[in-house]
Structure 1
Amino acid sequence: MNLANPFKRLLLRTGALIAVSLATASCSWLQSLDQDPTLDWPADRLYTEARTALDDSNWTQAKDYYQKLEARYPFGQYAQQAQIELIYATWKDGDAPGAVQAADRFLRTYPNHQNSDYVMYLKALATLNENDSWFAMLSAEDLAERDANASREAFDIFKELVLRYPNSRFAPEARRRMHELVLAQAEHELKTAEYYYVRHAYVAAIDRAQRVVREFQNTPMRDDALELIAKCYDELQLSELADDTRRIIELNKDGARAQPAR
C-alpha cells in the first residue's frame, strides 16, 4: 500500500490552511491600522486629545494618546511635556512600576529640566504605589503596614527633591511626607520588636527596639521602645539593665517637661 500520496495530500492541505490563516491575520492587522482614527493626527491634536482625556480622568485613553505622540513625534514641541504627563497618567492608571521606570528614564534624559522636581515627586508617590488623595488620609500606623523598603525608597526620593530643589513648590509637601514616613518606619520597627517579644524572642526584640531608639529618637515611639527593652530585660532576669533603661525613660520625661511651651 502506498502511503506517500495520502501523506503528500495532507501536507498540501495543512499548508493551504496555514496560508489562509496568515492571510486572514494580515488582513485583520491591516484593517486595524485603517481603523485607527489617530493615524493622520498632527502632534498638536494628539496632545490636545491626550490632555482632554487626562483632565477627564480617562487614564488609559490618555496613556494611549501620549504613547502615540511620543512614538510619532519624539522630537516635537510637545515631546517633553507629553512624557511628564504620561508618567502621571501611568501612575493614576494603576501601573506604579511603569510610572517609576518612565520617571527614571525622563530624569536620565533631561537631568536639568525645569520640571524635574515634579517628576521626582511623582516618582516618590509611585514608589509608594498609592494615589495622592488616598495617601493623604493615611495615619503613621497605616503607613507602617506598608512595604518598609518602599517607604525608605520614597523617603530618599523626597529627601533628594528637598535638597536639590529647596525652593520648589513641591518641597513643603515632600517634607511633610518625609515626616510621616519617619513615623511609619519607627512604628514598623516597634511593631516588629513587639512581635518578637510576644513570641519570647527577647534578644531579637531588644535588637529591633534599640533600632527605634537609635534611629528614630525624635519620634513618640522612642520611649515605647525603651519600655519594651526594659520588659525584655525583666524576662531575661537582667534586673540591673532593666532598671537602667527605666531611669532613661524617666530622664526623657523630665527633659520633656522642662522644655518651654511653644
Structure 2
Amino acid sequence: MKTNHSLKVLSVAMLAGTLALSGCSTLKSIVGKKDNKITISAEQSELSYYEQAQAALEKGNYHEAIKTLGDARTFYPTGTHAQQALLDLIYAQYQAGDYEAVSNSTAEFLRLYPTSRHLDYVLYVQGVTHMGGSPKASRLFKLDQSQRDVSWLQLAFNNFQVLVNNFPNSNYAPDAAQRMIAIYNDLAEHEMVAARWYVKRDAYVAAVNRAKWVFQYYPQSESTPEAIAVLAYSYDKLGMTTTAEQYKTLLQINYPSYLNADGSVKLPNQKSTSFTKRLLNTVTLHKFDKKADTQGVVSSYNGQTRNQVIHQAGGLPPLPSQPAEMDDSKEHMSMPIQEKRRHIGLSLPDQQ
C-alpha cells in the first residue's frame, strides 16, 4: 500500500488552484471611488487569535471558536498557525453541526495542503460528514441510510477508501475501514429494497435487474445470498428454467437455507436494514484529549483486529462508475460475470 503523503490518487482538481495569499496582518479593500479606502486591521496578533480560539474550543464554545479562527485565517492566511487554524476550524464546524461548512473547509484543506501529514484526518472528517448525507436535508430526518439518496454514501466510501489505501497505519484507518464495509453493505441493500418491491408486484424483469446489480458489483456484501435467491426465483417465474437452475445450484452449494425441501426458492421475509445506522448507533463522535494523539475508543468491537478490518476493507472492489439507476422496464437477461488534530472516531485493537 502507498504511504506517502502526496496522495497520488487524489484528483488533480483537489491539488490545483492553490491560492497565493499574502501573509500580512492588514487587509485593504476599495469601496466606491479610488480615493475612498477602508482599512480593516487585525485587532490582535496571530498568536493571540489562536490562543483565544483554543480557549473557546476547550470550553465548547464552538461558534466563538469559528469566528476567532476565521479572523485568524483572514488576517494571517499564511501565518505560522494557518494550517492548524484550518484544522481546528474543521473540528469546530463539525461540533457546531455546520456540515456544509465542514465540506467546504475540508475541500479547501486538501487544495491548500496536498502534502500535509494531516491528510488522513481531513479525509476522515470529510468522509464522516458525507456519510451523514446532504448537509441541509437528510440530517433533519432519521432515515434508513439504504432507502435514501445514496450519492452521499458513495462520496463517503471514496473518502474512506483513499484514506485506507494511502494511510493504512493511520489512527483513523480502522474506523474508516469499518465505515467502508457498512457503506458497501448499504449500497447493496439499496438495490435489494427495490428488488423486493418489484418481486411483490410480479415485476420480475425489474427484480432481476436490481438483484443482478448486487451480484455483479457488490459480491462481498451481506445482500449477495438474497440477490442470488431473487435471481433464481424471478427467472423461474419468467419461465427461464435453465437460468433459474444455475442460480439454484449456487444457492445449494453456498446458501442452502434459501431453498425449500422441494428445491424451490425460499425468499426471506426481510425488511430493509441499514448497516451504517447500526454502526453509527454504537459510535460516539468526540474530541480526544489534546495530548493523546494516538488514543482511541473502541465502541463496536466485532472480534476483528485492526489489521483484519483494514485488510477486509482494502479488498473491497471500487464502486461501479455509474449509478444503479437503470431502466427496469427493459430486459437485461445475460448471465452475470462473476501537529495535533481534533479527533473524531474510534479504533480497534492491534493485531494479536
- Residues 197, 58 of structure 1: alpha-carbon distance in 2 compared, 3 angstrom cutoff: farther
Q: TM-score, normalised by structure 1?
A: 0.72
Q: Post-superposition shift, 1:205?
A: 1.2
Give the aligned partner of residue 163 of structure 1.
165
- Residues 217, 70 of structure 1: alpha-carbon distance in 2 compared, 3 angstrom cutoff: same
Give the aligned partner of residue 89 of structure 1.
92
CA distance in 1, matches of 2:59, 2:234: 56
Give the aligned partner of residue 191 of structure 1.
193
Give the aligned partner of residue 182 of structure 2.
180
CA distance in 2, matches of 1:39, 1:80: 18
The question of whether the paired residues in 2 share the 8 Å contact of 1:73 and 1:79 is answered with yes
Give the aligned partner of residue 217 of structure 2.
215
The question of whether the paired residues in 1 share the 8 Å contact of 2:147 and 2:193 is answered with no
Question: Cα deviations across residues 72-103 of structure 1 (Å, max 9, x unaligned)?
Answer: 12122111101111112222322223211211
Instruction: Give 1 or 2: higher helix fraction.
Output: 1
The question of whether the paired residues in 2 share the 8 Å contact of 1:97 and 1:127 is answered with no
SS in 2 for 1:53: helix
Task: Tell me whether 104-113 or 188-197 shows the greater mean CA deviation.
Answer: 188-197
CA distance in 2, matches of 1:128, 1:218: 20
RMSD: 2.1
1:236 to 224, 238, 253: 238
Task: Tell me whether 50-59 or 100-109 shows the greater mean CA deviation.
Answer: 50-59
Give the aligned partner of residue 131 of structure 2.
128
CA distance in 1, matches of 2:246, 2:165: 39
The question of whether the paired residues in 2 share the 8 Å contact of 1:213 and 1:226 is answered with yes
CA distance in 1, matches of 2:60, 2:146: 30
CA distance in 2, matches of 1:225, 1:253: 11
Q: Post-superposition shift, 1:164?
A: 1.6
SS in 1 for 2:60: coil
CA distance in 1, matches of 2:205, 2:216: 16
CA distance in 2, matches of 1:56, 1:250: 60
CA distance in 2, matches of 1:89, 1:201: 49
Give the aligned partner of residue 115 of structure 1.
118
Q: Post-superposition shift, 1:39?
A: 6.1
Q: Radius of gyration: which is bigger?
A: 1
Using the aligned pairs only, state the percent identity.
Answer: 32
Task: Tell me whether 62-71 or 198-207 shows the greater mean CA deviation.
Answer: 198-207
The question of whether the paired residues in 1 share the 8 Å contact of 2:50 and 2:69 is answered with yes
The aligned amino acid for 2:189 is: E
Structure 1: stretches of 5+ with no match in the other structure: 1-37, 131-140, 255-262
Q: Post-superposition shift, 1:248?
A: 1.2
Q: Post-superposition shift, 1:246?
A: 1.4
Q: Post-superposition shift, 1:143?
A: 3.2
The question of whether the paired residues in 2 share the 8 Å contact of 1:210 and 1:225 is answered with yes
Give the aligned partner of residue 71 of structure 1.
74
1:100 equivalent in alignment to 2:137: no
Task: Tell me whether 57-66 or 179-188 shows the greater mean CA deviation.
Answer: 57-66
The aligned amino acid for 2:253 is: L
Give the aligned partner of residue 247 of structure 2.
245
Task: Tell me whether 91-100 or 66-75 shows the greater mean CA deviation.
Answer: 91-100
Q: Post-superposition shift, 1:121?
A: 0.8
Give the aligned partner of residue 60 of structure 2.
57
Query: Which is bigger in relative contact order (C-alpha 8 A, separation at least 6)?
Result: 2
Q: Post-superposition shift, 1:61?
A: 1.7
Give the aligned partner of residue 44 of structure 2.
41
Paired residue total? 207
Q: Post-superposition shift, 1:107?
A: 1.1
Give the aligned partner of residue 156 of structure 2.
154
CA distance in 2, matches of 1:234, 1:55: 63
The aligned amino acid for 2:99 is: A
Q: TM-score, normalised by structure 2?
A: 0.55
CA distance in 2, matches of 1:161, 1:118: 9
